[in-house]
């Protein structure tokens, strides 16, 4: 902007609709040729047309600067638009929320062996449903069934796309138009509005509630058994706790009640684990093997929670029940593809050597990180991050608590450490909005940093930031320099 002789600022030059170059002229302009070579004519043409429409609307409103319609300026704007459109929607982030198995951030991280197996399955044909020994068609469940049986003590196993699907398929295959007895205290709802009564209805089974919200006794199950009963069901309350005056019936007790009637007992373990977590100092969690040994006929559980594998729903138990489930038409609709099976097999193999599991399985490695190690990491990172934020914020190392996440062990807290960022000047007016702006700026970084804002503090829990990722984490903070 220049000034007139009398000091009055000159008005910027504006362009009208007639000054906007035509689409064909621009597509032949030298400035656009690199974009055409890298993005193709179809995408460039569509994006450029939208860009010119925007320019035309600005020109009609008298707001289009003359320089904005120069070929170089239009090429730069077009390149930026094409770059934004080419960015993947699914992006890697830094999970500093303190929730290890964060549903919104993808839950379990896979070990290298699983990543390599998926890459092989992506780039070469594989024996997904082909028996190499006989040369005949095979069953995709055969790729992992032996491992699941070995690790759980079950007779047979099958895999579907998540645990909700496993419960739906099991109920539809074994209890359609019949009754399923469940304690009222176990009619859970998990994330995404998945409710046991709703899934029971969709499966075509009739729910029979017994007991009360906080107390259910063996006689409640016994009194509910009748000629239309198909299953006795227990659901692990993995995403909440009921404490105080409570009573629940263990799997072994339910199995003893079911046996004289020849009824199966099915257990939805939810998160599910294959090993005793207390050996690593974590809270106890009933294992799948313990549930089978207690008398469960079938157990369903997730692959991407405590198991630490890909998203999957696993059903293990008695062979004749598994056969019936696999014959159900829904099985094909809910089956998993080669990528899930490619990732699941190496994860299951890690459980054969549980003494090495804390190093080889990312989920367990993150859950067992010691608070003193996290404190040392916070002390390393704090002086690197404070200069990037300048005087507007204060960065302090602080103790905090992590959680397992994804409905697993809801009452447990893992002592952790991290960085607590506050607005300089304390709890003044506007400090909350200032922190929200910083939180948004961290989400806009090339690899977004996801923390949590509470009590006028931005908390960055370091439990899920491993040392190998520290350099990449700190490098991009320079973009925030004031």
Phi, psi (rounded to 5 degrees) for 416: -140, -175
Residues 6+ apart with CB under 8 A from 454: none
Write out the two tokens for 289.
């093997």
| Contact status, residue 31 vs residue 72, Cβ threshold 8 Å | yes
Q: Would you state the pLDDT for residue 142?
A: 97
Q: Rounded to whole angstroms, how far apart are CA atoms 226 and 209?
A: 13
Residue 63 gets which letter from DSSP? -
Q: Rounded to whole angstroms, how far apart are CA atoms 55 and 237?
A: 57
Q: Would you state the pLDDT for residue 4?
A: 46
| Sequence-distant contacts of 354-358: CB under 8 A, at least 24 apart | 354/275, 354/279, 357/275, 358/280
Q: Rounded to whole angstroms, how far apart are CA atoms 408 and 83?
A: 40
Q: Would you state the pLDDT for residue 479?
A: 75
Write out the two tokens for 323.
């056969």
Residue 370 gets which letter from DSSP? -
Residue-level pLDDT, tens digit, the chain, 482 residues? 444 455 555 566 899 999 999 999 999 999 999 999 999 999 999 999 999 999 999 999 999 999 999 999 999 999 999 999 999 999 999 999 999 999 999 999 999 999 999 999 999 999 999 999 999 999 999 999 999 999 999 999 999 999 999 999 999 999 999 999 999 988 877 666 678 889 999 999 999 999 987 888 999 999 999 999 999 999 987 655 666 667 788 999 999 999 999 999 999 998 889 999 999 999 889 999 999 999 999 999 999 999 999 999 999 999 999 999 999 999 999 999 999 999 999 999 999 999 999 999 999 999 999 999 999 999 999 999 999 999 899 999 999 999 998 666 666 789 999 999 999 877 777 788 899 999 999 999 999 999 999 999 999 999 999 999 999 999 998 777 66
Question: Residue 20: which of 60, 62, 55 has the closest Cα?
Answer: 55
Q: Rounded to whole angstroms, how far apart are CA atoms 159 and 89?
A: 28
Q: Would you state the pLDDT for residue 1?
A: 45
CA 472 to chain centroid: 22
Q: How far is CA 171 from CA 149, 152, 203, 332, 381, in A?
A: 21, 21, 6, 16, 51
Phi, psi (rounded to 5 degrees) for 156: -155, 165
Helix and strand totals (H; E) in the chain: 19, 15
Residue identified by tokens 């829990």 is 461
Write out the two tokens for 317.
């138990």
Q: Would you state the pLDDT for residue 194?
A: 73
Helix (H, G, I), strand (E, B) or coil at 338: helix
Residues 6+ apart with CB under 8 A from 453: 435, 436, 439, 459
CB-side neighbour CA atoms (13 Å) of 130 = 7
Q: Rounded to whole angstroms, how far apart are CA atoms 345 and 195?
A: 30
Q: Rounded to whole angstroms, how far apart are CA atoms 464 and 92?
A: 13
| Contact status, residue 178 vs residue 229, Cβ threshold 8 Å | yes
Q: How far is CA 254 from CA 66, 154, 164, 168, in A?
A: 80, 18, 23, 21
Write out the two tokens for 104.
């919104």
Q: Would you state the pLDDT for residue 193?
A: 64
Q: Would you state the pLDDT for residue 54?
A: 96
Burial class (CB in 10 A: 0-12, 13-18, 19+), 337: exposed
Question: Residue 150: which of 365, 358, 364, 353 has the closest Cα?
Answer: 353
């Amino acid at each position: 902007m220049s000034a007139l002789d009398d000091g009055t600022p000159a008005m910027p030059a504006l362009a009208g609709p007639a000054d906007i170059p035509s689409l064909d002229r621009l597509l032949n302009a030298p400035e656009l040729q690199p974009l055409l070579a890298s993005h193709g004519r179809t995408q460039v043409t569509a994006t450029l047309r939208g860009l010119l429409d925007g320019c035309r609307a600005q020109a009609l409103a008298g707001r289009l600067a003359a320089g904005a319609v120069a070929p170089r300026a239009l090429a730069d704007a077009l390149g930026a638009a094409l770059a934004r459109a080419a960015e993947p929607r699914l992006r890697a982030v830094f999970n500093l929320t303190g929730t290890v198995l964060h549903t919104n951030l993808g839950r379990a991280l896979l070990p290298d062996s699983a990543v390599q197996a998926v890459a092989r399955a992506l780039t070469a044909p594989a024996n997904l449903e082909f028996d190499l020994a006989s040369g005949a068609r095979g069953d995709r469940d055969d790729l992992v069934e032996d491992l699941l049986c070995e690790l759980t003590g079950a007779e047979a196993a099958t895999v579907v796309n998540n645990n909700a699907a496993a419960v739906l398929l099991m109920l539809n295959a074994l209890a359609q138009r019949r009754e399923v007895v469940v304690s009222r205290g176990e009619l859970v709802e998990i994330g995404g509005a998945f409710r046991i009564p709703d899934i029971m209805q969709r499966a075509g089974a009739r729910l029979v509630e017994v007991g009360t919200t906080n107390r259910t006794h063996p006689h409640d199950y016994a009194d509910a058994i009748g000629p239309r009963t198909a299953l006795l069901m227990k659901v692990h309350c993995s995403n909440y706790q009921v404490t105080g005056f409570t009573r629940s019936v263990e799997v072994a007790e339910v199995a003893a009640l079911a046996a004289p009637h020849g009824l199966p007992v099915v257990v939805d373990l939810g998160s599910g684990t294959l090993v005793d977590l207390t050996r690593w100092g974590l809270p106890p969690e009933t294992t799948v093997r313990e549930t089978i040994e207690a008398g469960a006929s079938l157990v369903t559980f997730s692959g991407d929670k405590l198991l630490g594998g890909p998203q999957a729903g696993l059903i293990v138990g008695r062979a004749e029940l598994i056969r019936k489930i696999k014959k159900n038409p829904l099985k094909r609709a809910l089956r998993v593809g080669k990528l899930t099976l490619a990732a699941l097999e190496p994860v299951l193999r890690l459980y054969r050597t549980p003494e090495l599991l804390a190093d080889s399985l990312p989920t367990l490695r993150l859950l067992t990180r010691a608070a003193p190690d996290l404190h040392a990491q916070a002390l390393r990172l704090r002086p690197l991050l404070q200069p990037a934020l300048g005087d507007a914020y204060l960065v302090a190392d602080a103790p905090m608590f992590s959680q397992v996440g994804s409905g697993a062990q809801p009452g447990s807290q893992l002592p952790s450490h991290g960085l607590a960022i506050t607005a300089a000047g304390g709890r003044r007016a506007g400090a909350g909005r200032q922190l929200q702006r910083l939180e948004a700026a961290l989400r806009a970084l090339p690899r977004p940093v996801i923390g949590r804002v509470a009590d006028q503090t931005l908390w960055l829990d370091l439990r899920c930031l491993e040392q190998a990722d520290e350099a990449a984490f700190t490098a991009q903070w320079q973009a925030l320099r004031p």
